[in-house]
Amino acid sequence: MNKLVFTIITIASAACSGGRSSSGGGMVAAGDGLAAWETVRGVLQHPRCANCHPAGDQPLQGDEGRPHNQNVQRGPAGRGMVGAECTTCHGPANPPASYGAHTPPGVSNGWHMPTPEQPLVFVGVSSGALCAQVKDPAHNGGKDMAALRAHLDDPLVQWGWSPGLGRAPVPTPRAAFLAAWDAWAAAGAPCPAP
Ligand code: HEC
Ligand code: HEC
């Protein structure tokens, strides 16, 4: 609850600053941009997101981020190893709740993780390093700010708020996450010192 209150205050302060930059034009002040980034960072490093963005080549599971069962590996294209592709177990949607907990979650565009060339690591990196990586096209899969924003509507990202029975969704509401992202971008996507 404290976290939610903090998030709302963060968003509110970012939104309120919309009109008060010295140059006018609705820019968000950099300090508010940093506060908005902190909300974004909290989502990116939540287990529902970070479990597919690990430091090593094994996806993670659960709130504790334990290594994936069955020694599942990233594989050459982020889709698993031959015979143990992600989609062998992860279907096009979450199984119905009647199947119980601990079933493999699914998404319409094919469950997978980033490639070995661009692993997009969210786990174990500082806020400043994560921020720099996320907005750098050389390290984020060639995405500019518009493409990054569009990616936030990808089924893999949306899944974090409907992760299936037995998994806690990302606690920051999705609308608050998107508002924080937009406030961060409008402030020029400032990053904390690495
Ligand atoms: C099932 C695995 C999976 C989950 C879960 C997942 N992602 Fe990703 N993410 C990927 C893949 C794969 C890519 C690379 C782009 C692609 O192939 O679609 C990616 C790329 C990204 C990118 C753009 C690249 C970058 O690092 O700047 C962002 C931002 C992102 N994810 C955010 C999230 C957020 C936020 C969540 C949770 C709400 C999340 N992801 C959950 C697999 C996942
Ligand atoms: C042999 C079947 C199997 C394969 C292959 C498999 N998974 Fe899973 N995966 C599961 C099961 C079952 C769960 C649910 C575990 C649980 O909830 O206890 C799961 C859960 C996950 C989670 C955890 C979600 C969370 O936040 O707790 C992630 C992330 C994940 N898998 C990624 C992958 C990726 C990426 C691949 C391919 C590289 C893959 N899996 C391949 C069976 C599989």
Q: Which is the closest atom of ligand 1 to the Cα of 170?
A: 38
Tell me which residue has its CA closest to atom 3 in ligand 2.
89
Point out the ligand nearest to the CA of residue 60.
2
Q: Residue 149 CA to chain centroid, in angstroms?
A: 11
Q: What is the pLDDT of residues 156-179, one digit of tens each?
A: 999 999 999 999 999 999 999 999
Q: What's the confidence (pLDDT) of residue 69?
A: 97
Residue 78: CB within 6 Å of ligand 1? yes
Is the CB of residue 24 less than 8 Å from the CB of residue 34?
A: no
Q: From the CA of 157, how far away is ligand 1's center (Å)?
A: 6
Q: What is the pLDDT of residue 149?
A: 98
pLDDT at 21: 39
Residues of the chain with pLDDT under 50: 1-25
Atom nearest to 60 CA in ligand 2: 29
